[in-house]
Chains A and B, each alone.
Chain A
């Protein structure tokens, strides 16, 4: 088993444990954005932030909100 699986596994398990109603699909999408930018430094985080914002906007729209 690779640690990538472990990181996602830990993230999904925590989300489930917290009882939030976010779907696995959006959680995996957000995780993949962070994984892609895991070595981007603190000064250049606006890119990943905007990607997350967009993903959440699409998610809310899909939910009918």
Chain B
């Protein structure tokens, strides 16, 4: 059984400085949860584990360079050293493995891997072991090809769907790694080694028995067939080389296609930034114009409160004068009515001959009202002065700038800062993007199609040559037996070796096929067991395996489920991974990055119930969207420890803190 104890990082990827994760050791509380938002560095921890265990990290087909693995801020500070240490137990031994990379002393600024020195320290139960011993130990504990099935990125689970396409070169590669995990190479190498030993022994035997003509004839015949086998092997080697060359050309084009996609994205980003810059420039021009006007009216802003006071005073004066005008009008009308009574003894309103007051009283009222008129100031020129004054004040107030110069300046500064930042972004993008030609994509896509056809053709040719070799080998085996049965053959001391190598060779060859059948049965059974535990559809009965270890769902009426959802595909892939991990190595930890991408809550719960049982430790790197309260409640009793990845104060680097933040 393998169990991780701790992992320590120093200046590794986004983790500037020293950081540590301690893994839970209890067999029940064996879940370690690492929470972290996307881009904070969850995958970097997985990469750290892979790098320290196997000395390399692959991103699809490209290997990460030391500069990729070194923290960027450390590079800026000219600290060119990073390190990862892992402590684990396996097969009742304690191992500490440390990989340290630092700049070669003769190099100023390192640019390639050769500018660094990488040192590996490997301890087993406190004793230091050599690099070759490390490789041997790791091949027994958890060989690198197995790591894809216990240290994996949940987002790449869909790659396992390729296994269902039997003739696909990707599926053949995955099949090869699966067989490596399951121990097939021991038999394949045994077949190849005994073929070589048999050839050498046959040569010696021929030499020893050259005096027997009939044996020599058989031996010559065997040599001729052996030559044909060698030719077929050469053909296979050539076809394999062609496949490798074609594959590398294909990968080159695929990676340049990714470059073109990146260039297109950069071009679109540049366009957006240009638009932003244009807008910011016009806003700045507008603000400058406003500022200019505001500066010319700045004195008004200072007098604004006083002017408002004067404006209110003028308005009050106008209202007062208008009231006086109205009062004069009313008094004059009253005097007019009273004059009617005095002159005609007649009411001016109703024309009655008997007015309600006497002539004498009317005269008295007229005198009193005339006195009132004299007391009311009714200066037209004063009124026009007041209204003019009011209008001037009003104009001054209406013409003043609402915002102060300080406000405008602040906004201008902000706009300038934004403009500088956008100009900087534009410059960076322009400098890193190349020439973009959309027609390149079409041409390159066609090339990839052609390369795929070439690879397919080579695979078919290799199969033909292998069939030929099988037939030749049978012929050689028969001839070897005929030689062995010849009375003179016992005179050669090598005859016994030839017979033993021949039988060993045949045994290795046949056992490969037998093993494949046994493994398929074993993997199918274990994957089905996992699948039934993980899937919540009751009409799915089991999984069926094909020659590439690809798995298809079989329903309860024994029908193949042709179309499956992406969620179901992910469950199938997880079942395969679990089966391979359990068939290919003793129990060990399972580390999953973003494990639940396409899964609904029900399946998430199934996985979280099943995996802690089937692994020694379950390490999950999750983001907020993956763990709701229900899921957390379910796994809470089994959580051994939790960590949270946070950004450091600089906002660029990450840190690992114990607990949930």
On whether the beta carbons of A18 and B507 are closer than 8 Å, the reply is yes
On whether the beta carbons of A20 and B503 are closer than 8 Å, the reply is yes
Query: Which of B190, B196, B583 is within 8 Å of A3, CB to CB?
Result: B583
Q: Residue of B at shortest CB range from A13?
A: B514
Query: Which of B182, B183, B193 is within 8 Å of A52, CB to CB?
Result: B193
Q: What are the residues of chain A within 8 A of B182 when measuring CB–CB?
A: 3, 6-7
On whether the beta carbons of A60 and B504 are closer than 8 Å, the reply is no
Per the 8 Å Cβ criterion, residues 394-424 of B in contact with A are none
On whether the beta carbons of A7 and B187 are closer than 8 Å, the reply is yes
Whole-angstrom distance between the alpha carbons of A27 and B503 in the complex?
A: 11
B185 to chain A: closest CB distance in Å? Answer: 4
B253 to chain A: closest CB distance in Å? Answer: 28
On whether the beta carbons of B522 and A3 are closer than 8 Å, the reply is yes
On whether the beta carbons of B185 and A11 are closer than 8 Å, the reply is no
Q: What are the residues of chain B within 8 A of A13 when measuring CB–CB?
A: 511, 514
> What does the 1/0 interface line of A1-29 toward B look like (CB < 8 Å)?
11110110111011101101010000100
Q: Given A14-B510, A14-B511, A18-B507, are A7 and B189 neighbors across the interface (CB < 8 Å)?
A: no
On whether the beta carbons of A53 and B197 are closer than 8 Å, the reply is yes
Q: Given A2-B585, A56-B500, are A10 and B193 neighbors across the interface (CB < 8 Å)?
A: no
Q: Which of the four size classes fits the interface of chain B?
A: 35 or more
On whether the beta carbons of B189 and A30 are closer than 8 Å, the reply is no
On whether the beta carbons of B515 and A45 are closer than 8 Å, the reply is no
A17 to chain B: closest CB distance in Å? Answer: 8
Q: What are the residues of chain B within 8 A of A42 when measuring CB–CB?
A: 192
Q: Which of the four size classes fits the interface of chain A?
A: 35 or more
Q: Pull 13 A–B residue pairs with CB atoms less than 8 Å apart, ordered by A.
A: A2-B583, A2-B586, A3-B181, A3-B182, A11-B511, A31-B186, A34-B187, A34-B189, A35-B186, A38-B189, A48-B189, A56-B497, A60-B496
A64 to chain B: closest CB distance in Å? Answer: 11
Whole-angstrom distance between the alpha carbons of A21 and B512 in the complex?
A: 20
Whole-angstrom distance between the alpha carbons of A40 and B189 in the complex?
A: 9
Q: What are the residues of chain B within 8 A of A2 when measuring CB–CB?
A: 583, 585-586
Q: What are the residues of chain B within 8 A of A1 when measuring CB–CB?
A: 522
On whether the beta carbons of A10 and B518 are closer than 8 Å, the reply is yes
Whole-angstrom distance between the alpha carbons of A10 and B504 in the complex?
A: 13
B500 to chain A: closest CB distance in Å? Answer: 6
Residue among B190, B519, B586 with the highest chain A CB neighbour number at 10 A: B190
Query: Which of A6, A18, A30 is within 8 Å of B190, CB to CB?
Result: A30
Whole-angstrom distance between the alpha carbons of A11 and B500 in the complex?
A: 15
A61 to chain B: closest CB distance in Å? Answer: 10
Per the 8 Å Cβ criterion, residues 581-613 of B in contact with A are 583-586
Q: What are the residues of chain B within 8 A of A45 when measuring CB–CB?
A: 189, 192-193, 196
On whether the beta carbons of A38 and B186 are closer than 8 Å, the reply is yes
B interface residues (Cβ-Cβ under 8 A, vs A): 135-136, 139, 143, 180-187, 189-190, 192-194, 196-197, 496-497, 500-501, 503-504, 506-508, 510-511, 514-515, 518-519, 522, 583-586
Which 7 pairs, one residue from A and one from B, show the smallest C-beta to C-beta distance? Answer: A10-B515, A14-B511, A7-B183, A20-B503, A34-B190, A38-B186, A38-B185
Whole-angstrom distance between the alpha carbons of A41 and B426 in the complex?
A: 50
A interface residues (Cβ-Cβ under 8 A, vs B): 1-4, 6-7, 9-11, 13-15, 17-18, 20, 22, 27, 30-31, 34-40, 42, 45, 48-49, 52-53, 56, 59-60, 65
6 more contacts with CB within 8 A, not counting A3-B522, A3-B583, A60-B497, are A6-B515, A7-B186, A11-B515, A35-B183, A38-B183, A39-B185
Q: What are the residues of chain A within 8 A of B500 when measuring CB–CB?
A: 22, 56, 59-60
Whole-angstrom distance between the alpha carbons of A23 and B634 in the complex?
A: 54
On whether the beta carbons of A34 and B504 are closer than 8 Å, the reply is no
Q: What are the residues of chain B within 8 A of A31 when measuring CB–CB?
A: 186, 190
B113 to chain A: closest CB distance in Å? Answer: 22
On whether the beta carbons of A52 and B194 are closer than 8 Å, the reply is yes
Q: What are the residues of chain A within 8 A of B197 when measuring CB–CB?
A: 49, 52-53
Q: Given A37-B189, A40-B189, A65-B496, are A4 and B503 neighbors across the interface (CB < 8 Å)?
A: no
Q: Given A3-B182, A38-B186, A39-B185, are A10 and B503 neighbors across the interface (CB < 8 Å)?
A: no
Whole-angstrom distance between the alpha carbons of A49 and B190 in the complex?
A: 9
On whether the beta carbons of A15 and B183 are closer than 8 Å, the reply is no
Q: What are the residues of chain B within 8 A of A40 when measuring CB–CB?
A: 189
Q: Residue of B at shortest CB range from A35?
A: B186
Whole-angstrom distance between the alpha carbons of A36 and B503 in the complex?
A: 21
Q: Residue of B at shortest CB range from A16?
A: B507
Q: What are the residues of chain A within 8 A of B183 when measuring CB–CB?
A: 3-4, 6-7, 35, 38
Q: What are the residues of chain A within 8 A of B196 when measuring CB–CB?
A: 45, 49
Whole-angstrom distance between the alpha carbons of A4 and B180 in the complex?
A: 12
On whether the beta carbons of B139 and A38 are closer than 8 Å, the reply is yes
On whether the beta carbons of A20 and B186 are closer than 8 Å, the reply is no
Q: What are the residues of chain B within 8 A of A27 when measuring CB–CB?
A: 507
Q: Given A10-B187, A10-B514, A49-B193, are A18 and B583 neighbors across the interface (CB < 8 Å)?
A: no
A48 to chain B: closest CB distance in Å? Answer: 6
Whole-angstrom distance between the alpha carbons of A18 and B522 in the complex?
A: 24
